[in-house]
Chains A and B, each alone.
Chain A
């Protein structure tokens, strides 16, 4: 086994045993990147210099007997999180040369935990997309099939994890951007409760929906990452001062006696039968673990796509107004007047999907349309949240597919925004409700593509997600495969 294939917990025990050094693991990671990333395109930039410094420091710490939660662990960071001194592009021409003078809070927390940042990962432009095809830096290819998309928008992070171009990664999820690529790449991805993880320094797409979370090789690593990421941040007024449990304690508790809800609205026409089959396998596994799986209803599910594609673009249209070429970022030389300059800069600096969403959002917030669109969507959102509140009165967790199909082909949906939007149909509600959800690998299609199961829990019950996912992971008859690149 090559060192870059290690999980966080494996690496930790080997570091503790003195069998490997952080620098050796980091070298293996960069060797791997050298070999495969020309094809995969998971990274938009590498941070070799600071990474080796950090790895070296971790090794010295270890010699002094200090082993932090993520000491020396090579972590890939989605290029939406601000990193002081390192270009943070958000997948956009607009920020192609933007170097933030500050770290995102999660970056600071990861640093303090000893993490080593390998580089910044590719993503859909401003996180708007489900395939990494809208990135200004070119599409990321799915390590399982290079003609297919890795999912998005955290496609670079998911691909880097499964291609062993890092040990673990962080991404962000506004409507499925961690879970959908996790499912398509066969890794574990967790979208925490809204407010659980600080958004400070996370470049905003839709502020009321965005959350940062981990993408890892297994559930134990998810628990380790969440121990570091979660917690209140005074710089983010929407983060919550709830105590953070040690999520590792839930890894081996099992789910005996639990009630698992299976929402009938998620088993719709058009869903790939191989996915339904894999979810059936998860149901059987959970039952074998002593849980009761029962059909439930989340009656407003059908409205989630409509509500999401009003609220998210509305917030985006406002969040992206700051990219005007005046203070930082791309500025077009065209334009005689101020208005011309704005138009030229924003026309050339943003890609088509971003512009589409800015226009949708601007329209739905306009005088005379606000009540019909934004306000109505907010009311629907409240109903969707109530659906979950009701379900969690009886259920410990809810189980659904993460995506309706396995990874689709590059170019297949790029010209059909509506088809593209529908690929997130199972993940959007979760962000609207603010609840946490996790995507867990649960099988492979006959074509050899990974399939994902989504577990959903009530607000701030990430512990339950980790407990259920760890139990399923340990029992699911799933051969460990690796993509052959």
Chain B
């Protein structure tokens, strides 16, 4: 039988606010354990939470970017469970009245676009970190992360395969980073994903029993875990068994999922309205304000690049992978009026060097103006495309303006026919044997002569002029 997988994803994204969601402590990652804490995030007796307004603003941004309906009045609830890294014994989250609901985003997969529904987006606080000692004797608790703001983005079960799931995650990640509300760092846990997976015989309507997958900390692992789990469920059904509703952990080393807890052991979180906070009231003016400050989103930008600059969709996709790269490209394109050439240089030399040196777009040593000037120098014939590669390397290394480099190193193209003429003469005199062979009919030696002339002019001779003069002189008996 053929099976169809059904996938829904829950993403937790840490918000890039300076301070925590309910107190003034810093959210900075990597501080000494338990140093970014205060009585409020430590859950001391008698303390009370105060909502960080910036968290709401960031959450509204994501809600607008994913076309959600924002609940103008929404509220917090307590999610109760015991764990040493949860100081209050409950997590302040949103439950019955989340910030936003019923949105969607478009994903691109295999060249086609598909819309994935967003069930809800809500705000909550992160828990601390438990660090279990290798020998299993001790567990240490670091509460620096306690109270760091999160948004949870829950998708509809709209994805039909692991690749679609991965495409959805990449898109969500891209939007969060574009909005500059999340750094998207998966290793540091700023972007975390859980998956709900089930399979059903293709063509049937009802969903199968689902399992929840946890502990997948990269896009690749999400895809691997989904692949594994889908096959596990299919094997289970094919073998006459039934899928059990449970939570399973992905083991990245062993590349398998393990049962973590069954339905019976599932927590009863005893949600109830958080009495220490008043409802969050979001005015239409606030929403408008946030809307006005919203940047162009990746997919819109991609479409516009294709439309406005006439570059291929593939190029547009690469160039809009981050806001910084897209801005860099646009500046170069506008600075030269040659978007396709700009795209070739940015996607080629620039990205290759970025990758080679493992730096951020913001750290590129060649400014967009400088790159535009260099491209202009090619266009007006000052340098050849070949020389341009050397000029670019120099610019990257020294940060100098291309015009300065061209001037200093005398790299400007030799357009003077007299100078080329002299160089051709020298080459012909230096290679009498080849000249004789050519004249005897071995015409493919033409390239050899071009190479020799270019060598003699350090590559600066205008290739067109070299061709013309060589042709003339080679024919001369």
Contacts and interface: CB of A to CB of B under 8 A. Distances in A.
A374 to B, nearest CB: 6
B50 A365 contact: no
A236 B47 CA distance: 9
Interface stretch (A100-108, A109-117, A280-288, A291-299): A100-108
A359 interface: no
A445 interface: no
A326 B43 CA distance: 11
A236 B277 CA distance: 8
Contact of B80 (A206, A235, A321, A342): A321
Contacts of A206: 275
B44 interface: yes
Interface in B26-63: 39, 42-51
Nearest to B40: A235
| Residue from B42, B43, B89, B271 whose CB has the most chain A CB atoms within 10 Å | B89
B275 A362 contact: no
| Residue from B46, B47, B80, B278 whose CB has the most chain A CB atoms within 10 Å | B46
A346 B46 CA distance: 19
A207 B276 contact: yes
B48 A236 contact: yes
B448 interface: no
B88 interface: yes
A104 to B, nearest CB: 6
A318 interface: yes
Interface residues of B, number: 28
Contacts of A236: 48
A330 B39 CA distance: 18
A237 B278 contact: yes
Interface of A is mostly: loop
B307 to A, nearest CB: 48
A164 B42 CA distance: 38
Given A321-B89, A338-B84, A237 B45 contact: no
A321 B90 CA distance: 7
A88 interface: yes
Nearest to A81: B46
Contact of B46 (A202, A342, A366): A202
A238 B278 contact: yes
Interface string B251-274: 000000000000000001011100
B141 interface: yes
Contacts of A238: 48, 275-278
B80 A201 contact: no
Nearest to A374: B272
Given A101-B39, A365-B270, A366-B268, A321 B49 contact: no
Nearest to A328: B44
Contacts of B45: 82, 88, 90, 95, 98, 100, 203-204, 322
Contacts of A370: 270-272
B80 A318 contact: yes
A102 B276 CA distance: 19
A342 B82 contact: yes
Interface string B309-336: 0000000000000000000000000000
Interface of B: 39, 42-51, 78, 80, 82, 84, 87-90, 141, 268, 270-272, 275-278
23 contacts: A88-B46, A100-B39, A100-B44, A101-B39, A102-B47, A201-B47, A202-B46, A203-B46, A234-B50, A237-B277, A237-B278, A238-B278, A315-B275, A317-B270, A318-B270, A321-B88, A321-B90, A324-B84, A326-B84, A327-B43, A338-B84, A366-B268, A370-B270
Given A322-B88, A324-B89, A370-B271, 18 more contacts: A80-B46, A81-B46, A90-B45, A201-B46, A204-B46, A234-B50, A237-B48, A237-B49, A237-B276, A238-B278, A315-B275, A318-B90, A321-B88, A322-B43, A324-B84, A338-B84, A365-B272, A374-B272
